[in-house]
Amino acid sequence: MRSGRSATLVGMMGLLLIVGCGEPPESSPEPVEETIVSVHASRGVVQAIEEEGARLIIAHEEMPDFMDAMTMPFDVGDPDESAGLAVGDKIGFELVMATKRSYVRNIQPLPTETELSLAP
Ligand SMILES: [Cu+2]
């Protein structure tokens, strides 16, 4: 939960930005061009949920021709997808490699009895 004080600060900063910028919004900033380079389906176990669901630490299976099995952090494209997750959950997901970032999407819960091939 954001405190009233920091919300006020953010509001003031936003106001400063609006006042300080003479150009109409149409001409600035440049739209974010994001090209998806590759998508890798994988499965894994949630090890930690951080940044209010915006980042997951996942012990994931091998992604063929891309990444060995390992435990690592992933940004979550839509943090709402982390809402129902708990540490220890088994999930399927897609890792999206885009030009400017990588993120996880399509998080699906897997049955607890699912056998995974994780790094030792
Ligand atoms: Cu990895």
Dist. CA 93–CA 99, nearest whole Å = 19
| The residue to which tokens 């690592």 are assigned | 72
Digit-coded pLDDT (tens) for 5-60:
666 666 655 555 555 555 555 555 666 678 999 999 999 999 999 999 999 999 99
Centre of ligand 1 to C-alpha 57, Å, is 10
Centre of ligand 1 to C-alpha 36, Å, is 18
> Closest Cα to residue 106, out of 81, 69, 72, 84?
81
Digit-coded pLDDT (tens) for 64-73:
999 999 999 9
- Backbone φ, ψ for residue 15 (5° rounding): -65, -45
Structure tokens at 74: 């992933």
| CATH number for the domain formed by residue range(s) 34-109 | 2.40.50.320
- Quote the pTM value: 0.73
Centre of ligand 1 to C-alpha 19, Å, is 44
**Which residues does 47 contact at the CB level (< 8 Å), separation at least 6?**
56, 57, 58, 59, 71, 87
Centre of ligand 1 to C-alpha 120, Å, is 14
Digit-coded pLDDT (tens) for 60-103:
999 999 999 999 999 999 999 999 999 999 999 999 999 989 99
Centre of ligand 1 to C-alpha 60, Å, is 7
Centre of ligand 1 to C-alpha 56, Å, is 12
Dist. CA 23–CA 95, nearest whole Å = 37
